Amino acid sequence: MNTLLFLQQNTILWIVIILLLGACIGSFLNVVIYRLPLSLYASWKRQCSQLFPASIKPAEEITFNLMTPRSHCPHCKHTISAWHNIPLLSYMLLRGKCAYCKQHISLQYFYIELICTIVTLFLALYYPIGWKLLGALLFTWSLIPLIIIDFKEQLLPDEITLLLLWLGLVFNIFNTFTPLVTAVIGTMLGYISLWLITYGYKLFTGKMAMGHGDFKLLASLGAWLGWQSLPLIIFIAAILGIIFGLTWLICTRQKTSTAIAFGPYLAITGWLAFIFHDSLVNWYGIILR
């Protein structure tokens, strides 16, 4: 308690700590975004090779997870030194290039660290130090990799969505963000609502509109925000998906049949509803009038 009181009274120190924390978490999220899909694909390939050994080449047996091997350049494979892996700072000092082969490193690494730092600082200033702040940080840090992974791979890993779901229920045991009853109902309705929409669409068209990862993500959002927020989240996410999806199809000249990830729009809308719920409800009410 004395430490929390000390941090509350020393705003500058608190901000410095939060900035460092946000940058470090952003660096870790970059690892999750890059490695988790590769680890899952390798695991699925091993499982398939065991079921169908004659038709599928076994995956290479290498240790690859969030901890090992050490971070390395995607081009020359050289292990990145600690002083070349300082969040935000190293990317700027190296001008976005590998220190060894001088090949450009994706801006994604810098942007993720920067975005994570900014939203972490925002939450730390928006919420007082306590359980609400911790919950808001965990909620936000979980959504960032889900947005990027689904956008790039059209994949919402259970390792993140299910963890997010259980975290929401745990925090709401004490009615931190919404009463536990509404959180449990939100979890159930979040999954069932998108399931009904998707399979209803399949009955008429023969095509799947969404994947099960989207069902689990909305269930997770329901666990954090309660069932009352679900219509708002689905409505705004659908609008964002249509606007940005069509824009992307036109700009990239893709076919209209090209699959577009819906998870990023659910996640973004869920975060906005989490932080700016009342403002979005008012806007939603005006739209429906």
In terms of Cα–Cα distance, which of 147, 123, 148 is closest to 135?
A: 123
Could you give the count of Cα atoms lying within 13 Å of 184 in the half-sphere of its Cβ?
A: 6
Res 75: pLDDT: 74
Helix (H, G, I), strand (E, B) or coil at 20: helix
Res 287: pLDDT: 54
Burial of 18 (0-12, 13-18, 19+ CB in 10 A): buried
Res 281: pLDDT: 65
Res 214: pLDDT: 92
Contact of 270 with 225, CB cutoff 8 Å: yes
Dist CA 108 CA 238 (whole Å):
25
Dist CA 172 CA 40 (whole Å):
30
Res 270: pLDDT: 95
Indicate the residue type of 87: P
Q: Report CA 223 to chain centroid distance, whole Å.
A: 16
pLDDT along the chain (289 residues), means of 10: 68 90 95 90 76 59 66 76 82 82 87 96 92 96 96 92 97 94 96 89 74 92 94 91 82 71 93 84 58
Task: Quote the Cα angle for 274-158-192, to 5°.
Answer: 65
pLDDT in tens, 202-217: 787 777 767 788 999 9
Q: Enter the pTM of the model.
A: 0.88
Identify the residue whose tokens are 């978490």. 25
Q: What contacts 79, CB < 8 A, 6 or more positions away? A: 69, 70, 71, 72
Dist CA 138 CA 31 (whole Å):
17
Evaluated on CA atoms 231, 132, 122, 263, the torsion sign reads negative
Res 286: pLDDT: 55
Residues composing the chain: 289
Structure tokens at 86: 């300082």
Contact of 241 with 209, CB cutoff 8 Å: no
Dist CA 180 CA 143 (whole Å):
21
**DSSP secondary-structure letter at 82?**
G
Res 256: pLDDT: 62
